Structure 1
Amino acid sequence: MRDLRLDQLDSFRQVIALGSFSAAAERLGLSQPAVSLQIRELERRLGTVLIERVGRRAQPTAAGTELLDHAGRIEAAVAAAQEAMARHATGAMGRVRIGTGATACIFLLPPVLRELRQQHPTLEITVSTGNTSDIVKAIEDNQIDIGLVSLPAAGRALDVTPLLEDEFAVIAPPGMELPARLTPEAMARLPVLLFEPGGITRRIADEWFARAGVTLKPVMSLGSVEAIKRLVGAGLGCAILPGMAVYGENDGLVVRALTPRVHRTLGLVLRKDKPLHRGLRETLKALRALGTLG
């Protein structure tokens, strides 16, 4: 099977598609004896008859029908490989897979991705969202190239670089009466919406209350910052959110700082042994430009 030739498979597919050795030869720019020889050699290599004549038309045998399905997939795989190599040969940027949280995806990445797209039109970028633990696992499994996540993130195979700090804030609907200092004790007396449990954003908020000995039961927990902002705007309560989601994009809501202040650290995560092709280098450069730490 290691001697299986693509030109023989192509001739086989053309004969079946056109129902004729002579028609296949004309399409391929070969002589009919050359096509017949290719099919005989293919049958010899595989040890079975692939084509039979039914009347005047060439049709596949049972083995030929099965090979035809494989040949189609082989042709598609070869075409995909050629396209991928062509991108390298022509200096195209390749593909970069980014993993991040939903908040950073909405409020931090768009201008970075826009600039990358403008400067490098051939760069293919895919973005997936999830919790830090899920993204780190995907990086370790080489399913994602770069993670922009809330720290901490740890792993012996990982390169972790703190990038920026994002201070949490309280948002409230206009007209809602808020205390002068938004301490854990004061917030516990208000209707509060939080992110759903399971992620670092919720854990930071829970730990902020716990350090003050306060147990908060939120009126609602949601997994979407936009949903939380809309519900706050509808008057269902106030919310504690990452600052990047509210400063500058508060939708007319009241924005106040917490006391004591609390923040999360965002960082870049990738494998230490990750080969840095040109597209990946340019993406890392653009993301590092966001940094305010170090």
Structure 2
Amino acid sequence: MASLENFRLTVFRKVAEQLSFRKAAEELYLTQPAVSQQIKALEEELGVGLFDRSGSRVSLTPAGTALLEYSERSCRLLEEALQGVAAFSGSQAGRLTLGASTTIAQYVLPRLLSEFCKAHPRVSPTLTSGNTEEIVTAVEEDKIVLGLIEGPPRNRDLALTPFLEDELVLLVPAAHEWAEGRGIAPEDLARAPLLMRERGSGTRHIVEMALEKHHIRRGALNVVMELDSTEAIKSAVEAGLGVGFVSRWAIAKDARFGSAFRIVEIAGMRFRRQFVLIARKGPELAGAAAEFRNFVLARTRRKAAD
């Protein structure tokens, strides 16, 4: 995708973000000397030093801090310009900064992004993955324009749009005593070795809230391990380390289902939730972000109707 921005400013912002010439070079696919050369040329052009390189650390000078603020504003304005001009060609263009909680990023978003990029080849998406709380924070801090989370978020000062229904299921090893039964009672979970997602995960929040409604307190659970991804939970269940909750989306195409792990029903309990699009409240989304949100809603609603 074409960029209207001065390349030296792009390099400057990356170094300022990483506070490392080496890391900036890696992300920009440049050599470290090339990055240093771009920064030196920019400093000579402006007549001021932008980075303090004394000691083992790199830090911004007061002049660098001031330039960073203006550079970020300039970048946003140029992106708006690209999107505004692209509208005259009947297509979208520009950067699209997305964030998705782990389950969505792994199992739902790849196909949606693939279809969207085929329809809008001039859009350049970037994706940040993390747990629900991390994605909410990234939206609040304006690091990403649109988030997809296992909602709803605890902070309601965001614009929320549900787009897909999900259900959490309890996985147990295929050889587990519960695997061949007709299901278990909710209180049975209090004595089971549980594999749980880390705190801040939407999956963990939904499970804990549902169990508390059945008078099973968090402190009564036997959590033997906390894991930071659904794939880690599936592998741990397969290894016989415990039982754990995952999204149905996560096992829909898993060849191990049935032979390595199985779903166990819990009497009187269903762990349903909505996947939610989140954005900052205020001006309506525009350009590629609005197009992507509408694309996701159209695709998922069509799937729900099938």
Fold equivalence (TM over 0.5) = yes
**Paired residue for 1:258, among 254, 258, 266?**
266
CA–CA distance in structure 1, aligned partners of residues 300 and 96 of structure 2: 18
SS of alignment partner, residue 207 of structure 2:
helix
- Report if aligned partners of 2:82, 2:93 keep a CA contact under 8 Å in 1: no
- What residue in structure 2 maps to residue 172 of structure 1? 172
- What residue in structure 1 maps to residue 294 of structure 2? 285
In structure 2, the CA distance between the partners of 1:281 and 1:186, relative to structure 1 (3 Å rule), is same
SS of alignment partner, residue 300 of structure 2:
coil
- What residue in structure 2 maps to residue 225 of structure 1? 230
SS of alignment partner, residue 223 of structure 2:
coil
The structure number with the bigger radius of gyration is 1
- Report if aligned partners of 2:193, 2:224 keep a CA contact under 8 Å in 1: yes
CA–CA distance in structure 1, aligned partners of residues 98 and 137 of structure 2: 13
CA–CA distance in structure 2, aligned partners of residues 152 and 82 of structure 1: 31
- Report if aligned partners of 1:191, 1:218 keep a CA contact under 8 Å in 2: yes
- What residue in structure 1 maps to residue 196 of structure 2? 194
In structure 2, the CA distance between the partners of 1:213 and 1:147, relative to structure 1 (3 Å rule), is same
Q: Summarize deviations over 1:122-163 as a string: whole Å, max 9, x none.
A: 111111123333333332332211111122236676321122
Q: Residue 152 in 1 paired to residue 152 in 2?
A: yes
The one-letter code of the counterpart of 1:68 is: E
CA–CA distance in structure 1, aligned partners of residues 143 and 246 of structure 2: 29
Q: Summarize deviations over 1:81-133 as a string: whole Å, max 9, x none.
A: 99865676465511111122011100110100110121111111111123333
**Where do 5+ consecutive residues of structure 1 fail to align?**
1-64
Q: Summarize deviations over 1:192-227 as a string: whole Å, max 9, x none.
A: 211122323212212233233332112211111111
- What residue in structure 2 maps to residue 45 of structure 1? none
- What residue in structure 1 maps to residue 140 of structure 2? 140
SS of alignment partner, residue 220 of structure 1:
strand
CA–CA distance in structure 2, aligned partners of residues 187 and 86 of structure 1: 54
- What residue in structure 2 maps to residue 122 of structure 1? 122
- What residue in structure 1 maps to residue 279 of structure 2? 270
- Report if aligned partners of 1:193, 1:218 keep a CA contact under 8 Å in 2: yes
The one-letter code of the counterpart of 2:105 is: C
Q: Summarize deviations over 1:158-179 as a string: whole Å, max 9, x none.
A: 3211222211101122222204
Q: Summarize deviations over 1:220-263 as a string: whole Å, max 9, x none.
A: 11111111111111122221112222233362321233331112
In structure 2, the CA distance between the partners of 1:225 and 1:66, relative to structure 1 (3 Å rule), is closer
The one-letter code of the counterpart of 2:272 is: H
Tell me how many residue pairs correspond in the alignment: 228
**Structure 1: 4+ residue segments shifted above 4 A:** 71-74, 79-92, 154-157
CA–CA distance in structure 2, aligned partners of residues 154 and 213 of structure 1: 22
- What residue in structure 1 maps to residue 30 of structure 2? none
- Over the matched positions of the two proteins, sequence identity in percent amounts to 29
- What residue in structure 1 maps to residue 210 of structure 2? 208
Q: Residue 162 in 1 paired to residue 162 in 2?
A: yes
CA RMSD of aligned residues (A): 3.4
After superposing the two structures, state which structure 1 stretch, 233-242 or 87-96, moved more.
Answer: 87-96
After superposing the two structures, state which structure 1 stretch, 182-191 or 80-89, moved more.
Answer: 80-89
TM-score with structure 2 length normalisation? 0.63
SS of alignment partner, residue 219 of structure 1:
strand
In structure 2, the CA distance between the partners of 1:113 and 1:277, relative to structure 1 (3 Å rule), is same
Q: How does 1:32-181 map to 2 (within 5 A)?
A: 68-70=44-46, 89=85, 91=89, 93-153=93-153, 158-178=158-178, 179-181=181-183
In structure 2, the CA distance between the partners of 1:173 and 1:87, relative to structure 1 (3 Å rule), is same
Deviation, 1:186, is 2.0
- Report if aligned partners of 1:157, 1:273 keep a CA contact under 8 Å in 2: no
CA–CA distance in structure 2, aligned partners of residues 82 and 166 of structure 1: 37
CA–CA distance in structure 1, aligned partners of residues 228 and 247 of structure 2: 13
